[in-house]
Amino acid sequence: MKFQTLTLVFAVMALICPIQAMHIYLKPEETKCYYEHLTAKSLLIGDLDAFVEKNGVFVEDSGIRVKVTIDETFDNNERVLNQKNSNSGDFSFTALESGEHRICLTPSYSDASANIRVFVDFEIGHVHSLDSKRKDDVNSLKSRVQQLTQRLDVIKDIQGNIRENEAKFRNQSESANSKIMLWSVLQVIALGCTCAFQLNYLKNFFVKQKVV
């Protein structure tokens, strides 16, 4: 059983053969080529990111274009792909016949003296295996999105409870403040009445004393 499992794992790994990501430095209209042996119905996926040097730092620039060409060297260098990409993106190619293929990258830019750095990552595999891998990735992303959605719902519920408690506390505070203000006003009125009564009493008392 273990031997069959290991055999299946090695078979899948043989179908998916990624090439290590690399980066190259080129001038505009300068070409860099790679040679790969592709079997019939194998799928080549390339991921490109190009940057231009400005003030000693490589930065993104939408003005960069990267031309990708693929030639079948085994068939009189017949060109089977001629595609111009933006500074960031990917391309795909399905080999119709088995043999050596030449993959060339040519950046273009308005400043012919500029230094351009291109990150390139190739992935080669069978069409069905790569499609299955992409489906698994999509399903994994869907699962993560669902988990994040559930967490957001929980956070929204917690925030709703917090807002509700804050509203209750605010209403209680306002009610308490209103009662305190009313009690203070009543105390001031009572104190004023007491003072007025005492003043009136003293006034009458002194008037009587003078009369006597």
Sorting pLDDT into bands at 50, 70 and 90, what band is 124? confident
CATH number, domain with residue 49: 2.60.120.380
Q: What is the pLDDT of residue 6?
A: 44
Q: What is the pLDDT of residue 18?
A: 47
Q: Are 65 and 111 in contact (CB under 8 A)?
A: no
CA distance 55 to 49: 19
Long-range (24+ apart) CB contacts under 8 A made by 66-70 are: 66/105, 66/106, 66/107, 66/108, 66/118, 67/105, 67/106, 67/107, 67/108, 68/103, 68/104, 68/105, 69/103, 69/104, 69/106, 70/44, 70/101, 70/102, 70/103, 70/104
Position with higher pLDDT, 148 vs 67? 67
71 in a structural domain: yes
50 in a structural domain: yes
Average pLDDT, the chain: 81
pLDDT tens-digit profile of 88-100? 988 888 888 889 9
137 in a structural domain: no
Q: Out of 30-34, 134-138, 179-183, pick the least confident.
A: 134-138
Output the pTM of the full model. 0.52
Long-range (24+ apart) CB contacts under 8 A made by 133-136 are: 133/16
For the sheet with 78-85, list strands across it: 32-38, 99-108, 65-72, 78-85
Average pLDDT over residues 126-153: 73
135 in a structural domain: no
79 in a structural domain: yes
Domain that holds residue 26: 16-126
How far is residue 26 from each of residues 64, 96, 114, 115, measured CA to CA in Å? 12, 30, 9, 6
54 in a structural domain: yes
162 in a structural domain: no
- Tally of domains in the chain: 1
Please check the confidence at residue 3 and state whether its pLDDT lies above 50: no
89 in a structural domain: yes
Please check the confidence at residue 165 and state whether its pLDDT lies above 90: no
